Each structure stands twice: as C-alpha cells, then as structure tokens.
Chains A and B, each alone.
Chain A
Amino acid sequence: MAKVELKNLTKKYGEVIAVQNMNLTISDNEFLVLVGPSGCGKSTTLRMIAGLEEISGGEIFIRDQLVNEKDPKDRNVSMVFQNYALYPHMTVEENLGFSLKIAKVEKEEIEKRVRDAVQILGLEELRKRKPSQLSGGQRQRVAMGRAIVRRPDAFLFDEPLSNLDAKLRTQMRTEIKKLHQKLKTTIIYVTHDQVEAMTLADRIIIMKDGYIEQIGSPIEVFTKPANIFVATFIGSPPMNIIEGDVIRKENKLIIKIDDEINLECPQKIQSSLENKNKIYLGIRAEDIMPKETSDYTNSNWCFQKSINLAEPLGTETQLFFTIKNKEIISRMYNPKDVKVGDKINFQIDSNKVHFFDAETEKTIF
C-alpha cells in the first residue's frame, strides 16, 4: 500500500474554485475521511487523485511518484462511486474480474482473487447474478469487491453509503472498518455524514469552500475544533454558539450573555480576552446540564430558563430553550418528566466551554 501526497492542489472550473491550495500527506494504511458540506470540493479532490479530473495547479504523489500526467489506469487506485457504477451487462463475477481481465492476468489467478473477494464480502450466492438483480446493499458490496480485487495502492470512496437506508448504513460502516483492518490499505473516504467520519477515520479533514478547515483525529476535532465552523459541523446535536459581551468590572472580566446571565470569566483565559469586546461561546449540549439546586447565581455559571420543548430519547432528554432568540439545546441524562414552560436551572461546565473570536471565528481557547 502506499502514501499519497497532495501539494498545493488546486482545481478551478472557470471562475469557480472547487479546491484551493490543498496540502496533505496521507500515510500508509491510513483511513482518512474528508467531510464537509455539499459543494465544498470533496468529490473533486478524490477525482483529481484518481485522475478523472484535470488539475489546475499543484502536484499529486502516489507512492512517491508524481502522477499529475498519468492516466487513471496507471495510478493503481480504485474508486467506489456513490451510485456504485457496476457494469450492468456483466455478472457479479465478471464485474469483480474485469480489471484483472483488462490487465491480462492469468485465468486461474483471476478466479482465485475473485473467489477471495467473494468470500471476504459474503457474495457467494450472488456470483452469477446481474447487478439489476441485487439489492442496494449487495450492489455496494460488489462495488467494494471490484475495488479489492485489483489490490490497489489506495482506495477512494465517494459517499459509498449514502444510498443505503439507516440500518444498512450502520452495518456497512462496520464492514468497511473491518475490511480496512483486514486489508491494511490506504483509504480516502468522502462523506458528509459526520457520524461516519467519526467512527471510521484515523484522521478527519473538514473542508469548506475548497479549503481545509482542520485536520485531526476524530477526538481532536471534536474536543479542540479550530473554529466555529468545525465546532458546529462535528458533533450532534451541533454545538451551541452563544454571543457574549466582554465587560470589565473592578479588574474582573464578565461575559454578559443577556440581562439575566452574566458569567464570570475563568482565570486562565482572562489574558486572552483582555482586548476583546465581543466573543462567541461554544458549548456542547452535554455541557449545559440541568441542575437540581436553588442556588442559581451566575457566579458558578448557573442560570435559569423556561423550556420551549423537551424531546425524550430514552437515555437522554434534549431540552430546548432560547437565549437572545437563539435556540439552545441541553442534554439531560437523568430522565425525568419535563413540561413545556417549566423553569429549569442549568449549569454550564466552564471547563469545557470553547471561546471563539467574534471576528475571525477562530478558537481563542
């Protein structure tokens, strides 16, 4: 398997910039996931690596070889498309063996490799069927099989699971993970499903408008998002973002959220906020906890709000309320009946609050 390197990779469609100066090294056997909203350039990146899209600038190295000028067929990467793109006129077996046939591999070898792939993916019963006679999940499996058989340097997956229903998606996700552990291959995987990204990835890349916003392990991007975009993109429900004014009061810094909520700035970040008037607080739903206490003074980051909506999900109940007309979500882990309009005391875990610059939206702390 192989290392893939992108240097200043750029793609323009006329005036539209799809990918901008992308720099990235994907190491051997790494499972790299590209996430981002629709149109951010994920597919374009993948297609450039595969050689299906001409690049406007920069360089791509696979196995330390510059492949800019190489045809897709000479790059030895396999791509799995969202719509699978199985050859409709060939049986499952023929689909799997096609690349080897083109490469003029000996017949016995083809048979052996197809047999292996069929076994790995549990397709034994379906060998003689045509794609039109398969279910969505089975087609997906055949598409993966077709990629495996070639033993490529890297796999490229473009939203391979997005056509499957929720249950099958979870199941196939696990299978892809197992497959990666079994085959030990470099995988570049595109999705806009952040759960998929978190569960599969060694490293996640969050993209927006052709730029990389952050690269890091799933835990890293979750606990230390680089900016508001990443913070709200990763995690479900999305992180609550609350605007606050920084007020100086007798050599203390106060973060004023609204008339009722004035939070004392923790010691450790006071210096970072010295010369700011406005900041954004990012608080995950699980860090705004309902608190059974009569003491709801702001000093220990407690406040009281009345509930607009309560959604019991079993293990947790999500409580919705508003601060400055913005909907805020809190997670309550000890299920108890809550009615709309109930006044509830909340406490924010001040250690887990993220602080973002109001102008750049970058993380301050």
Chain B
Amino acid sequence: MKHIKKISFWFLVLFLLILICLPGIWIFVSAFRPNPEILSKPANWIPDRWTIHQFTQMFSINGYVSVPAFKYLMNSIIISSVSTVIAITIGMMGGYAFARFNFRGKNKIFLGLMLARAVPGISLSLPLFILFAKLGIINTSFGVILVYVAMNVPFTIWLTDGFFRQIPKEMSEVARTDGCTRLQAFWNVELPLAGPGIGAAAIFAFLLSWNEYALASIITRTVHSKTLPIGMMDYLDEFTINWAGMCAIAVVMIVPALILTFIVQKHLVSGLTFGGVKG
C-alpha cells in the first residue's frame, strides 16, 4: 500500500514535470531540426535529422545573414551587463544606506521606490518614447541601459537592504573600533559578508534586463540597439514564420539565463553563515 502511494506520487511529479518542461523541450528540439518538420502533423517528437543549420545561419559572419543574431546577442550582453553593473552599484549603496542609517523620510522614500516597481513598465512606454525621441536617444543602447537601470535600482536596493540588514550592526561597529573608517569597515567586513547576496541581486537584475521585452520593443528600432527578445521578431515575416530560427534564437537566450539561475539558487540556498555571532 505504502509502495503504491509512493509510486503514484512520483508518477504525478513526473507528469507535472513533463507538463511544465514540455514547451521548453519543444523549443530545444525544434531549434535543431529543419523548419518544415516543425509543422508536420502528427507532431514528430524525435527529429529525423538533427541540424545546426539555424545557428550557423544566425552567426555566420560572411555570406547572407537574414537575422543579425550575433549583433543582437552583443547588444543584449552589453546592455544587460552595463545596466546591471550600474544598478547593483547604486543599489548596493542605497541598500546599505537604508539598512544602516536613519534619515528623514526614510520609510517614505523606501515606499516610493517599491511603488515605482509596482507601476507596470508598459504604461510608461508612450511618455518614454516621446521623451527619448526628443532627447535623441531613441534607438540607442544608452537609452535602453538608462531604462533598465531605472527599472532595476529599486529592486536591487530592496534586495541588498535585506542582505545588509541580516548582518549585525556590531560587525561594522567592532571593525570601526578596530581602527577602520566606515568605508574600510564596509569594504573589509560588510561587503564580504553580503557578497553572495549582492551577487544574487546582480544576477536577478541581469536576468530582468536580459528577458525584458515590452519597453525594449518601444525604444529599439534597428539592429543598432535591438536586443535578443526583440530580434526574435525578425523571424516573423509578412508571409512566413521561421519557427526553427525563432527556436534557435530562443535557445541562445535561454541557456545563459538558465545557467545564471542555477548560480543564484545555489547562493540563495547556501545563504550567509553568521558564525561570528552567537548561536
């Protein structure tokens, strides 16, 4: 009886797992097979022929390139990395200030930041478009980075604030009586302790930028600034859809995101170890 229960439980888990992963698996499989096969009915689960044609096509330097995926990838990497570095730097300082200092209107400012996160980004798209057009930074990486920094700063502040709060304030106090300036105490003691948390926050911010579609679709126009999610739409022609190409570019997007997610979860699970304090 117990066995049956256990086995049926695992079957249920397996079923749900497949259900959840199916679209992802389908994308992976489809990225490596010829386009016509994707639309075959009944569905062909195991490709007859594996091919990396879509990838070579996408990244071919010479010859005809229908979709400049390499350029999109570079745009994505640059925009996501730069915006993440800026957002985490500002966020770290902000989070530290919120965690450690008392200043007037602290709670209201914090609430304001959180509310800013609550506004759906897409509702800002029109004003942003007009503003950026007037400033002449429409369709530039700089413009996208600016938007992503604004989007991520409240988020990184919120996360790092939590991580710094977990570090007892005696840590920095004892460092300061040990001869550190506030900055030295931060650098030598608090930052190493909050390090994993800050790393995780940075990866979250990176993923948000990496996957962002709505705002980028408004501000980016050409290959000059388009990111991967936007570039994906290039496979939508007026009359045909290159499903295989789309799946291939999706794989290029998903793989780094997956790897980063694994890194984050490891850090979040391991958490911070506070052996220095009692208990």
Contacts and interface: CB of A to CB of B under 8 A. Distances in A.
Chain B associates with chain A: yes
Interface of A: 50-52, 71-73, 75, 77-79, 81, 83-89, 98-99, 102-103, 130-134, 136, 139, 146, 150, 163
B127 interface: no
Given A86-B275, A86-B277, 13 more contacts: A52-B173, A73-B180, A78-B178, A84-B276, A84-B278, A85-B173, A85-B174, A88-B275, A99-B179, A102-B180, A132-B274, A146-B174, A163-B278
A83 B177 contact: no
B170 interface: yes
Interface stretch (B90-98, B185-193, B218-226, B238-246): B185-193
Contact of B276 (A78, A99, A131, A136): A131
Contact of B278 (A71, A73, A83, A130): A83
Q: Interface centre among A51, A86, A146, by most B CB within 10 Å?
A: A86
Interface string B3-23: 000000000000000000000
Contact of A131 (B174, B178, B275): B275
A77 B192 contact: no
A154 B175 CA distance: 16
B168 interface: yes
Contact of B277 (A51, A77, A85, A146): A85
A222 B272 CA distance: 47
Interface residues of B, number: 23
Contacts of A132: 273-276
Contact of A98 (B168, B178, B274): B178
Contacts of A131: 275-276
Contacts of A103: 179
Contact of A72 (B168, B173, B192, B193): B173
Contact of B274 (A50, A88, A134): A88
A133 B276 CA distance: 9
Contacts of A72: 173, 176-177
Contacts of B107: none
Interface string B232-264: 000000000000000000000000000000000
B171 interface: yes
Interface in B158-178: 168, 170-171, 173-178
B170 A85 contact: yes
5 contacts: A73-B176, A77-B177, A88-B277, A133-B275, A134-B275
Contact of A83 (B168, B181, B184, B193): B168
B276 A79 contact: no
A75 B189 CA distance: 20
Given A83-B168, A87-B171, A102-B184, A150 B179 contact: yes
Given A73-B179, A150-B179, A102 B188 contact: yes
A50 B170 CA distance: 12
Contact of A89 (B174, B179, B192): B192
Between A75, A98, A163, the greatest number of chain B beta carbons within 10 A of the residue's beta carbon is seen for A98
